[in-house]
Every structure is written in structure tokens, then in C-alpha cells.
Amino acid sequence: MYPQRFGKTPKAGRREHLWRSTIALDKRSAKSFIRINDRIRAREIRVIDEHGEQIGILTPFDALKLAKERGLDLVEVSPTAVPPVCRIQDYGRFLYEKEKSERAARKKQKVIVIKECKFSVTVDEHDYQTKKNQAIRFLNDGDKVKASLRFRGRQMAHRELGYKIINRLIQDIGDAGVVEFMPRMEGTILHAILAPSKKQEAPKPKPAEAEQAAAPKPVEA
């Protein structure tokens, strides 16, 4: 017997750890669960073969028998369809291709970062120009900019000076950015959010047109 002051016994601790681990595993499994082979429970399914051709509507038993004859798996690819759609294919290769496409999609995603440029009511011209150029550089790199200005002590009585600085910044940035949130107060801080402007890029010429434009024109006699 373990004294009460030591709390839970080692066995109880192991059981609790195992229970928590099982819950975490169940949540991960439920999130990415794909039914295959004898786990498919629908009465009827629409079956597509490994070449992408429709076989028709079969029972899971008959479809799985056909998949096994071909040395492949029966994978449920559209569980919400009526009836569910299943495909005969290599399940390992299916997971590999799925993970590969998800990685490619993540690479294409642009992560928007908000970078802050801090000002003060008493900012001098040189410091203002430095921070303005910094904000333009952030916007040109595709990041958002949070322009913030903190009022200290008696400066709260002259908020119009802070608004003047932030509004000047918005004007000076010009086409490099667009205002996502207009200047507003939160406590003693005035801030605005600027986002990169979506500039329309000129369409690139087609290869044939580019070669034609680059070719020298014939000289008339």
C-alpha cells in the first residue's frame, strides 16, 4: 500500500497516461480516417477500377473480392456520395500521392506576416522617413504593416497630432499599399493596418508572339 500523501499509485498513473494517449490517437485517427477494404460498411458502392473506368454499383463484398483478385485495395474516396464511391487501387500509393499533393499545396500558400512600424507624437523628420521607407519595403515584400503610435501622459490631450502622422504615412505610401483598417484608438495606442496593393501585372507574351517580336523585320529594297 502506498501512503495517501503520495497521491496516485504507479499503476493508476500508467492507466491514466494510456487513457490520455488513446484519446489523442483516436482524435488524430478520426480526423484523417479513410475506410478501406472490409472497413467499408455501405450496403452498395459505386466502384471505379485502377484505370479510372467505372465498373458500376456493387456490394462491398463483391468489390473487395475483385480488388483482391487484382492484388489491390478497395479505398473509399467519396464517402458522402450516394452511393459512396470506392476505387480499386494501391492504398500505400494513394496515401503517398495524397501527402505529396498536400505538401505542394502548402508550398503555394503565402504566409501573410504583419510587421509593425512604431511612431511617436514627437517623431522627427529623419526618423519618420526611415520608418516610412521600411513600411514600403515590407509591403513590397508582400507583408502587412501595422503603423502604431503610442500617446504618453499629457500627449493624450493632443490626439490630432497622432492622427496627422498616421494619415500622412498613408498618403506617402501611395500605391504601395491599401488601408485595411483606418486609424483607430485602442487604449493609449493609435494604429492602422496597411495591406499590399494588388497590382495588375501585364500578361506575358506567348512564346510564338515573343519570337515574332524579337525577329528582325525584313528590309525593303
**How buried is residue 135: exposed, middle or buried, by Cβ count under 10 Å (0-12/13-18/19+)?**
buried
pLDDT digits (tens, 9 = 90+) for 118-160: 999 999 999 999 999 999 999 998 899 999 999 999 999 989 9
Grid cell at residue 191: 494604429
Dist. CA 113–CA 137, nearest whole Å: 13
- pLDDT category of residue 74 using cuts at 50, 70 and 90: very high
> Taking all residues of the chain, what is their mean pLDDT, rounded to a whole number?
80
The predicted structure's pLDDT at residue 216:
52
Q: Which residue has the higher pLDDT, 11 or 210?
A: 11
Q: Which of 118, 120, 142, 135 is nearest to 197 (CA)?
A: 142
Dist. CA 167–CA 185, nearest whole Å: 13
pLDDT digits (tens, 9 = 90+) for 10-60: 555 555 544 444 444 444 434 457 899 989 989 999 999 999 899 999 999
- pLDDT category of residue 183 using cuts at 50, 70 and 90: very high
